[in-house]
């Protein structure tokens, strides 16, 4: 682990605030305070855990701790090692988004695995850009893809008026092929995300419409080459005309493929605290370009990889990632707890595609 943290030294740092800056903008002080290691035992077999579709199951394998309220001491990374009854092993990483986005996190974990396997990984590039950020004019409204929130101060968790739940399910290869027959020009993420957009809209139809969604995408080709960074693209899509609940999945997928309004620069320039995931809109997260199964230790790769997310707003968030063989997709939805059962029922009908 020491060579790993030598290369990714910001991960072992702690958050500080720039006192000379009137905004007290947070930054990572690279002071080698380390990461936290948690060991756990599970009295179930791994195969049984993977089959379980209960909510919050992922929390059992990842140490649940947000940054703060003692921000000065809060680790940026927890590693939980869980031993199953059958002899299987789970590695759970609790990663602060401040360090980097999901592509950065995955690359960091995969780099560690290469060291454990006795390989010499590629060199890391951690040199900061060291350039001034743009700023929106004083009093400017927050971009449409995010929600402005009050100052978060030192406890980095936005209070939610409703209990949120994390639910994941598998979209099989046959289901994907049926979706692709409806809209051959759309990508896999757009098709699965469109299905989720339509389904959530149906669940909420009696209370409100879901005409606007936020889209968060990772484009490996557009990245700067830095090993740690938040370089995801953030934008929104508007569905004009009929309600998404009554719109065909193919039409919504076409909108997601061609109708995203990019607000990445505007979000970075906005001076206030904002909530990206589930703040202003239902948020659809594209993880197609992320090497989620790249971790390899002594020739062994994971049989299952799953991502969750804390701090999601009440509009909810949906993450779409490849499954173990790359032919299906794993979908993780973080939604209000009272919507999960309705979502399950609606998905059961929706995925029986003609």
At residue 233, φ and ψ (nearest 5 deg) are -90, 135
Tokens encoding 259 = 């109708």
Q: What is the pLDDT of residues 233-245, one digit of tens each?
A: 999 999 988 899 9
Per the confidence metrics, is the pTM higher than 0.85? yes
- The three-point CA angle 181-244-187 to 5° equals 35
Place of tokens 């690279």: 30
- Mean pLDDT across 44-50: 94
Residue 178 vs residue 65, higher pLDDT? 178
Identify the bridge partners of residue 216 per DSSP, sorted by sequence position.
234, 285
- Res. 353 pLDDT band, cuts 50 70 90: low
Mean predicted lDDT score pLDDT of the chain: 90
Give the CA distances from residue 95 to residues 44, 271, 299, 348, in Å, rounded to whole numbers and listed in that order: 25, 24, 25, 32
Highest mean pLDDT among 15-19, 64-68, 135-139, 189-193: 189-193
Is residue 97 over pLDDT 90? yes
Determine the topology of domain 2-129+136-350 in CATH: Chloramphenicol Acetyltransferase (3.30.559)
Give the CA distances from residue 225 to residues 104, 115, 314, in Å, rounded to whole numbers and listed in that order: 10, 20, 34
pLDDT for 25 equals 78
Tokens encoding 127 = 């040199």
Q: What is the pLDDT of residues 164-212, one digit of tens each?
A: 999 999 999 999 999 999 888 899 999 999 999 999 999 999 999 999 9
Is residue 8 over pLDDT 60? yes
**What one-character-per-residue DSSP string does 30-61 give?**
------EEEEEE-SS-HHHHHH---TTGGGGT
Identify the bridge partners of residue 217 per DSSP, sorted by sequence position.
233, 286
């Amino acid at each position: 682990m020491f060579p790993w943290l030598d290369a990714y030294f910001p991960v072992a740092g702690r958050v500080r605030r720039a006192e000379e800056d009137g905004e007290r903008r947070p930054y990572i002080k690279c002071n080698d305070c380390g990461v936290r290691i948690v060991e756990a035992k599970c009295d179930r077999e791994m195969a049984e855990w993977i089959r379980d579709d209960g909510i919050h199951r992922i929390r059992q394998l990842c140490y649940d701790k947000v940054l703060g309220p003692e921000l000065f001491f809060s680790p940026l990374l927890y590693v939980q090692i869980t031993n199953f009854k059958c002899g299987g092993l789970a590695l759970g990483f609790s990663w602060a988004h401040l360090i980097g986005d999901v592509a950065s996190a995955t690359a960091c974990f995969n780099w560690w695995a290469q060291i454990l396997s006795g390989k010499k990984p590629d060199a890391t590039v951690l040199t900061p850009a060291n350039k001034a950020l743009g700023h929106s004019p004083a009093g400017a409204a927050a971009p449409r893809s995010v929600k402005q929130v009050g100052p978060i101060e030192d406890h980095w968790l936005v209070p939610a008026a409703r209990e949120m739940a994390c639910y994941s399910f598998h979209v099989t290869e046959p289901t994907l092929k049926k979706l692709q027959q409806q809209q051959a020009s759309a990508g896999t993420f757009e098709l699965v995300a469109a299905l989720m957009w339509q389904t959530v809209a149906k669940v909420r139809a009696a209370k409100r419409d879901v005409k606007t969604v936020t889209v968060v995408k990772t484009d490996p080709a557009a990245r700067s080459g830095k090993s740690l960074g938040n370089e995801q693209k953030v934008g929104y899509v508007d569905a004009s005309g009929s309600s998404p609940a009554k719109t065909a999945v193919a039409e919504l997928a076409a909108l997601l493929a061609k109708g995203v309004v990019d607000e990445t620069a505007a979000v970075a320039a906005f001076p206030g605290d904002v909530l990206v995931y589930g703040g202003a809109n239902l948020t659809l997260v594209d993880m197609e370009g992320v090497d989620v199964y790249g971790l390899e230790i002594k020739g062994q790769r994971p049989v299952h990889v799953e991502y969750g997310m804390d701090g999601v707003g009440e509009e909810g968030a949906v993450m779409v990632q490849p499954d173990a063989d790359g032919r299906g997709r794993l979908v993780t939805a973080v939604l209000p707890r009272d919507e999960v059962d309705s979502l399950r029922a609606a998905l059961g009908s929706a995925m029986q595609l003609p």
